[in-house]
Amino acid sequence: MPREKAASEQALEKRIEEEEGLISVAADEAGDDEEEVLVEASDEEDIEPETGPLQRGREVIRNFVKLAPESPGCYRMLDASGAVLYVGKAKNIRKRVTSYTRPEGHSRRIARMIAATVSMELVTTSTETEALLLEANLIKRFRPYYNVLLRDDKSFPYILLTAGHSAPAIAKHRGARNRPGDFFGPFASAGSVNRTITALERAFFLRSCSDSVYESRTRPCLLFQIKRCSAPCTGEIELDDYNRMVGEARDFLSGKSSAVKDQLVRDMQTASDALDFEKAAVLRDRLAALSAIQSHQGVHPRNTEEADVFAAYQHGGITCVQSFFVRGHQNWGNRANFPRADKSLGIEEILGPFLAQFYADKAIPKLILLSHKPDEYDLLVEALSEKAGRRIEIAVPQRGEKSELVAHALQNAREALERRLAESSSQLRLLKSLAETFGLASTLKRVEVYDNSHIMGTNAVGAMIVAGPEGFAKNQYRKFNIKSPETAPGDDTGMMREVLKRRFKRLLDENPREQQSETPSETVSETASETPWPDLVIVDGGLPQLNAAREVMEEIGVSDVPLLAVAKGLDRDAGRELFHIAGREPFRLPPRDPVLYFVERLRDEAHRFAIGSHRIRRSKDIGTTGLQEIPGVGPSRKRALLHHFGTLQAIEQASLADLENVPGIDARLAKAVYDYFHTGG
């Protein structure tokens, strides 16, 4: 594939350059739906004799211009396969699209896009503001190759204090905020939410269980024993006292942290003066927990109650946009974003599309602070204000506290980009060494590694992990529940055959091999996430797994994807792996070889993901079939375990010693239960 792509690209570039010189039309971008019109130019209608791909693309666009309206809206450029190459927005669609028909002045990036265009689509809107919002949604939906693209657009987590219950709970929440209660955030990562919730449990003793678990409790759970819950479920605390602590937690998360801490200090002093040292110690521990939360939050602006801060830094053809979230005068963490963009675009050209896509599915704060003023600033302010339903301020502060916030974000952006470049450089060297070691001709942009996990054939799961120049591409990981009746339980080779067949059959349907060479490769550097076909497939196992993989590839007609099998060493020792590759005798790599360590890391990541997927499936299976799935556990012992631990999750997390203390569970059965939850292969 890479050789075909490179050859095709060189030919296309040569024909474009021979035909004429090249443009720089600023590319605007946008998101929401209205009436859609499809305009296609056939090869026979009004097209002059072909003189090259660029001329042909201009003729397609010229025919489209004849029917394009002089109104605001969005347009899409499509390639021969119907894939969206580019989404743009315009105040006047006809005028904007006409600019692509000019014979010269185009940049290399725009010329390539024009040359690949075979049809266009448009959506008209009432205003240019609507067009900007629509453009952002279309870019997120179609992920066009030539647009600025926000790669990591998953939702941010929030902390939820539930409502509508006599004893509100605290929980982590993602997605639409349609549950009753108070939401606090966004937080930059699930880890920061989990740490904050744990600290809030220690500070306010709030429950984190579901309402169904709360209603079914007959005695306090483990969290009460370790002083992370006040157990309102069993009446260990009066509901009035519990709800008072819920109110304190709400005040703390709303930005009244100083008032809450001052009150705790006064209460602690009062308890100490009354010689109630036990109560004073509890209040001291609560204060320490609140301090721990704030120590993780870093910067705490005094005069900025609510704002999102974005600072962009460019180097080496890559842009990093660092985002900080300030709510209630507290910093709820930061995240580094690396939008995909053409290297020729400046920060001002990237920030506008980035913000439009970022807020396409997220709540918009009152204030957005930026390090640079984006292109079409006024239009962006108007569009986000319209989406939020209130006036939004976007500022580039020059002095004061807000300027310090932006400077802090900019420093983090620079450091994150430097780390990214260093990691990418190291990863590229390893990928290059991997290709050289195993005699692969192409540059490795996407490596897929496969492994299976099961217990005696039950709950079998196949797993695929992906690595590329930027490290592990976790958004590309896939798991496969083994379900074919042709795959015998416990047949590792059969499982590998099923997983590979399903993976590559779908890949052929969605991304036929012949289309891969048509995708440009120089305008924007490709990553593992943007390259659907692997340059190398690694399977965990020996010669049987390699032969199974080869048979599958031959059966479905894929012959140019290199295959490598990694067999565990003698006594499963790391460093003694035996490698199997077609056309070579099995061999080992020298100890301490960097490539050996790299392959081990890939293999171990696949193993970790496979086991994790297997355990998740097994837990779900236990939830439906019951603990009787474990040999030796019948209805009476199941009741004993649940009565002792309360929930299935607590049984899964219990130590061997805890299981042995359950009435009716002897050491042998305790070991069987423990092994069931803590093993997987």
Which residues, 6 or more positions from 234, have their beta carbon under 8 angstroms from its beta carbon?
217, 218, 219, 220
How many other CB atoms are there within 10 angstroms of residue 518's CB atom? 16
- The CATH code belonging to domain 306-417 is 3.30.420.10
Question: Is 50 a residue whose pLDDT tops 70?
Answer: no
Read off the pLDDT band of 531 (50, 70, 90).
confident
Picking from 587, 481, 602, the residue whose alpha carbon sits closest to that of residue 542 is 587
Cα dihedral 569→575→576→579 (10° resolution): 90
Type of residue at 297? Q
What pLDDT is stored for residue 457 in this prediction?
A: 59
Calculate the average pLDDT of the chain.
80
| Superfamily the domain 447-518+525-612 falls into | UvrC, RNAse H endonuclease domain (3.30.420.340)
Residues 599-653: pLDDT tens digits? Answer: 989 998 988 888 887 777 766 665 545 565 676 777 777 777 777 776 666 777 7
What pLDDT is stored for residue 525 in this prediction?
A: 46
How many other CB atoms are there within 10 angstroms of residue 579's CB atom? 21
User: What are the distances in angstroms from CA 436 to CA 71, 433, 555?
Assistant: 55, 5, 28
Mean pLDDT for 70-88 is 91
Most confident of 365-374, 433-442, 532-541: 365-374
Residues 311-370: pLDDT tens digits? Answer: 999 987 889 999 998 887 777 778 889 998 888 889 999 999 999 999 988 888 899 999
Question: Is 408 a residue whose pLDDT tops 60?
Answer: yes
Mean pLDDT for 547-555 is 91
What pLDDT is stored for residue 474 in this prediction?
A: 85
Read off the pLDDT band of 7 (50, 70, 90).
very low
Read off the pLDDT band of 36 (50, 70, 90).
very low
What pLDDT is stored for residue 316 in this prediction?
A: 79
Q: For the ranges 65-79, 130-144, 206-220, 566-580, which has the lowest average pLDDT?
A: 566-580
Taken in order 574, 580, 581, 583, the sign of the CA dihedral is: positive
Instruction: Enter the pTM of the model.
Output: 0.65
What pLDDT is stored for residue 646 in this prediction?
A: 66
What pLDDT is stored for residue 23 in this prediction?
A: 30
What pLDDT is stored for residue 343 in this prediction?
A: 85
CATH number for 626-678 (one of 3.40.630.30, 1.10.10.10, 3.40.50.12280, 1.10.150.20): it is 1.10.150.20
Taken in order 350, 353, 356, 360, the sign of the CA dihedral is: negative
Helices assigned H by DSSP within 254-306: 257-273, 277-297
Mean pLDDT for 214-236 is 88
Per-residue DSSP letters for 191-238? Answer: HHHHHHHHHHHHHH----S-HHHHHH-SS--HHHHTTS---GGGTSS-
Tokens 């969206």, residue located: 84
Q: Determine the straight-line distance between the first and last CA of the chain, rounded to whole angstroms.
A: 34
Q: For the ranges 43-52, 258-267, 352-361, which has the lowest average pLDDT?
A: 43-52
Picking from 125, 57, 116, 55, the residue whose alpha carbon sits closest to that of residue 93 is 125
Distance CA 360, CA 137 (A): 6
What pLDDT is stored for residue 395 in this prediction?
A: 94
What pLDDT is stored for residue 26 in this prediction?
A: 31
More confident of the two residues 423 and 505: 505
What pLDDT is stored for residue 15 in this prediction?
A: 44
What pLDDT is stored for residue 398 in this prediction?
A: 93
Distance CA 327, CA 334 (A): 12
Read off the pLDDT band of 154 (50, 70, 90).
low
Distance CA 590, CA 599 (A): 13
What pLDDT is stored for residue 654 in this prediction?
A: 80
Read off the pLDDT band of 248 (50, 70, 90).
confident
* Domain assignments of the chain as residue spans, ordered by start: 10-142, 158-297, 306-417, 447-518+525-612, 626-678
| Superfamily the domain 10-142 falls into | GIY-YIG endonuclease (3.40.1440.10)
Contact 29/545 with Cβ under 8 angstroms?
no
High-pLDDT (> 70) share of the chain, % = 82
The DSSP letter of residue 50 is: P
Read off the pLDDT band of 517 (50, 70, 90).
very low
Read off the pLDDT band of 78 (50, 70, 90).
very high
User: Across-strand partners of 337?
Assistant: 321
User: What are the distances in angstroms from CA 86 to CA 27, 58, 219, 429?
Assistant: 9, 15, 60, 32
Type of residue at 462? G
High-pLDDT (> 90) share of the chain, % = 23
The DSSP letter of residue 303 is: S
How many other CB atoms are there within 10 angstroms of residue 474's CB atom? 12
Long-range contact set of residues 57-62: C-beta below 8 Å, sequence gap at least 24:
57/114, 57/115, 57/116, 57/117, 57/118, 58/100, 58/101, 58/103, 58/114, 60/117, 60/118, 60/119, 60/120, 61/97, 61/100, 61/101, 61/114, 61/117, 61/120, 62/101
Picking from 158, 187, 479, 151, the residue whose alpha carbon sits closest to that of residue 330 is 187
Distance CA 243, CA 163 (A): 11
Are domains 10-142 and 306-417 of this chain identical in fold? no
What pLDDT is stored for residue 618 in this prediction?
A: 67
Read off the pLDDT band of 664 (50, 70, 90).
confident
